[in-house]
Amino acid sequence: MPAKDERSENGEVGARGEGAVATTPENLAELYQKMVLIRAFEDACQRAFRQGKIGGYLHVYTGEEAVATGFLDAYREGDRVITAYRDHPHALLLGASPGEVMAELYGRRTGLVKGKGGSMHLFDVERGLMGGYGIVGGHIPVGVGLAYALRYQNTDHIVQLFLGDGAINQGAFHEAANLAGLWGRDEMCPCLFIVENNQYGMGTSVERATAMTDLAAKFDAYAIEHEKVDGMDLLAVLECAHRAAERVRESGRPYAVEAITYRIAPHGAADFLEKYRTKEEVEKWRERDPIGIVEKRLLDSGDIDEERIEEIKQEAKREVEEAVRFAEESEEPPAEELYTDVYAGEGEE
């Protein structure tokens, strides 16, 4: 177990991405564009929440963009993805349109789940998203079951299972990891665990919530191999993600990655107090903003100029504005919709 201060004051831990993955400049620019879009989307929905246009809970991904962007770059059609309630980027990266996602947050019939789930429960089964879930840790066993089914059905698809550092203290995590380890022996659990360690479960830091803070090493107890990655560095994540995904795909065995990252935004859009962390700490992490890091790399390498960067940002802004307009102009779900989807087999032809 690494000493506490080795554990990433600023994410300086784990694999370094420098040159480790064959990313073309076009590729990188495209991923940069996706991250910029996610950031713009999250900013816009946070605004709409504060204007009272979005209800319920809203948890944004600001600061953690490199993690989902890097891992879902290794997604292959037919794979499955499952995550908790901080799920907007996962839906967007898998191909849902910003309009569909925003409409869901607005509770409209045009939303990803017809306005029935809201921010915490985005599903897009056709594109591989098996859901966002609201109970911390509750989705982890489900993800392991998805993985078993993929092998049982003779595919070479994998599950990318995202979970938070807070979720790792739930019994559900430990029970599910044990199942994954067991089933992995028989090559029946192609599950890639991605621990999004953003340092906090709501207002409680990892140090105050977890007795042994090396989260990757927890998987040792379940015979699941693991590594850590600098989750603020997209290149590092990409290298790790592609390698890990292929390994899981080929072996049918689970594998775990702890991505060291940081939630720059408040836990939820309604939380303002933040007594649990200092402004200085947030500022320090902001200096390693994952989008800024990629932007600098693109500019330094001369693959992209300031003008193009500005264009990308403007495009994202336009796209998100369009999404907001779509959501605002969409209708509410009809009253009959209250009683549909309770049981399968009803109202189906």
What character string, x for contact with ligand TPP (CB under 6 A) and - otherwise, covers 180-199? ----------------x-x-
Cβ 191 vs Cβ 147: under 8 Å: yes
**Span 236-295, contacts to another protein by CB under 8 A:** 273, 275-276
CA neighbours within 13 Å on the CB side: how many for 208?
9
Residue closer to another protein (CB basis): 94 or 136: 136
Residue 201 in the binding site for ligand TPP (CB under 6 A): yes
Taking CB under 6 A as the binding criterion, the range among 96-104, 105-113, 123-131, 160-168 that sits at the site for ligand TPP is: 160-168
Q: Binding partner of residue 208 among another protein, ligand TPP, none, CB under 5 to 8 Å per kind? A: another protein
Taking CB under 6 A as the binding criterion, the range among 38-46, 134-142, 251-259, 283-291 that sits at the site for ligand TPP is: 134-142
> Residue 150, exposed/middle/buried by CB under 10 A (0-12, 13-18, 19+)?
buried
Contacting residue, 166, 181, 190, 252, with ligand TPP by CB under 6 A: 166
Ramachandran sector of residue 118 (left: φ over 0; alpha: ψ -120 to 50; beta: rest): left
Residue 169 in the binding site for another protein (CB under 8 A): yes
Distance of alpha carbon 346 from alpha carbon 339, whole angstroms: 10
What character string, x for contact with another protein (CB under 8 A) and - otherwise, covers 118-157? x-xx-----------xxxxxx-------------------
Contacting residue, 167, 236, 265, 327, with ligand TPP by CB under 6 A: 167
Distance of alpha carbon 245 from alpha carbon 247, whole angstroms: 5
Residue 319 in the binding site for another protein (CB under 8 A): no
Residue 110 in the binding site for another protein (CB under 8 A): no
Residue 231 in the binding site for ligand TPP (CB under 6 A): no
What character string, x for contact with another protein (CB under 8 A) and - otherwise, covers 4-43? ----------------------------------------
Where on the chain is the footprint of ligand TPP (CB under 6 A)?
A: 86, 134-136, 164-167, 196, 198, 200-202, 263, 267
Where on the chain is the footprint of another protein (CB under 8 A)?
A: 55-57, 104, 107-108, 115-118, 120-121, 133-138, 166-167, 169-172, 201-204, 208-210, 273, 275-276, 332-333, 335, 337-339, 342
